[in-house]
């Protein structure tokens, strides 16, 4: 089937830890012949305006999103938010707090590496991140590779930066259900990201029972068995079933960190479901603001 019927609903840009600028991502998606593409950067909507403008130019559907980092049961849980009102002051204030948490985490992580006898400075990490986005662990991984401490990003995460790694820092974060509420407060649609990578099915069921609007059933790191299971759970809880590659860019060996752009996609009808829900919510959002006046 033609790719023009499909949309990749989970993609990162240089506004967070992706390799390509928002406009490049949109151009690449259009070149692949995708029907649509999302931008879902970590804890920021900074790349949305640029991507939206590019999508108009390339005549491709654009799904504005964000991926919020949260914590539950000590696990790093991601929540995707689509169609939030990014000019909403309260929403941006809340995101600002997450950005501050991210910075504090980077500093802690670098301190831990230094304690392990690995000399890395924040300036070095900032230098590889480029000037556009927020800095994150993949940038630290690049510095570790450049210094010959590890060979690949995967190794950097396994040994140092990921959960269980020697320099892992658990940042202070909000609970996933709080992120659901933040996204809804901003008129958006909330989706539990990649449930398969948490390896805690009890928790996943609890979070889905708390009724986000959707769940990312298909993701680059999900096995076919997991996909089947999450489709069942989505149906049980009446949730929208989304899909995305989680593309960040190519690794040094040419392979993609999670998956290639457009390698995991949803039918455009899923995009339409999100639009419909967003429009319902926009009506109540408007009503609420008028009531408050
Ligand atoms: Zn994620
Ligand atoms: Zn992601």
Q: Which residues sit with Cβ closer than 5 angstroms to ligand 1, an ion? A: 78, 193
Q: How far are the Cα atoms of 79, 174, 203, 226 from residue 216, in angstroms, in the given order?
A: 10, 20, 15, 11
- The tens digit of pLDDT for each residue in 243-288 reads 999 999 976 565 667 889 999 999 999 999 999 999 988 777 666 6
Burial class from Cβ neighbours inside 10 Å (0-12, 13-18, 19+) for residue 9 reads: buried
- The tens digit of pLDDT for each residue in 189-245 reads 999 999 999 999 999 999 999 999 999 999 999 999 999 999 999 999 999 999 999
How close is the Cα of 288 to the center of ligand 2, in Å? 31
pLDDT at 159 > cutoff 70: yes
What is the distance, to the nearest Å, from the Cα of residue 61 to the centroid of all Cα atoms in its chain?
18
How close is the Cα of 129 to the center of ligand 2, in Å? 17
Whole-structure pTM over 0.85, yes or no? no
Burial pattern 49-72, b for ≥16 Cβ within 10 A else e, equals: ebbbebbeebebbbbbbbbbbbeb
Nearest ligand, measured from the Cα of 259 = 2
How close is the Cα of 79 to the center of ligand 2, in Å? 9
CATH topology of domain 3-292: TIM Barrel (3.20.20)
Nearest ligand, measured from the Cα of 248 = 2
Nearest ligand, measured from the Cα of 10 = 2
Annotated domain spans of the chain: 3-292
Nearest ligand, measured from the Cα of 193 = 1
Nearest ligand, measured from the Cα of 69 = 1
């Amino acid at each position: 089937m033609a790719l023009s019927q499909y949309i990749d609903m989970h993609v990162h840009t240089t506004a967070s830890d992706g390799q390509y600028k928002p406009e490049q991502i949109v151009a690449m998606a259009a070149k692949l012949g995708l029907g649509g593409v999302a931008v879902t950067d970590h804890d920021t909507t900074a790349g949305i305006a640029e991507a939206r403008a590019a999508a108009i130019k390339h005549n491709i559907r654009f799904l504005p999103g964000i991926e919020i980092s949260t914590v539950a049961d000590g696990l790093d849980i991601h929540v995707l938010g689509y169609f939030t009102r990014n000019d909403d002051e309260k929403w941006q204030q809340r995101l600002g707090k997450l950005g501050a948490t991210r910075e504090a985490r980077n500093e802690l992580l670098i301190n831990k590496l230094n304690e392990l006898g690995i000399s890395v400075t924040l300036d070095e990490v900032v230098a590889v991140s480029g000037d556009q986005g927020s800095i994150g662990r993949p940038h630290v991984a690049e510095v570790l590779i450049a210094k010959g401490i590890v060979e690949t990003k995967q190794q950097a995460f396994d040994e140092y930066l990921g959960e269980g790694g020697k320099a892992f820092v658990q940042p202070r974060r909000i609970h996933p259900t709080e992120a659901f509420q933040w996204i809804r407060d901003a008129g958006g649609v909330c989706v539990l990201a990649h449930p398969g990578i948490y390896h805690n099915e009890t928790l996943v069921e609890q979070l889905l029972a708390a009724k986000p609007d959707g769940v990312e059933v298909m993701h680059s790191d999900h096995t076919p068995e997991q996909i089947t299971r999450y489709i069942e759970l989505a149906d049980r809880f009446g949730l929208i079933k989304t899909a995305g590659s989680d593309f960040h860019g190519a690794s040094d060996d040419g392979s993609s960190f999670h998956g290639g752009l457009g390698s995991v996609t949803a039918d455009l009808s899923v995009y339409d479901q999100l639009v419909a829900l967003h429009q319902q919510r926009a009506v109540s959002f408007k009503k609420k603001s008028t009531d408050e006046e």
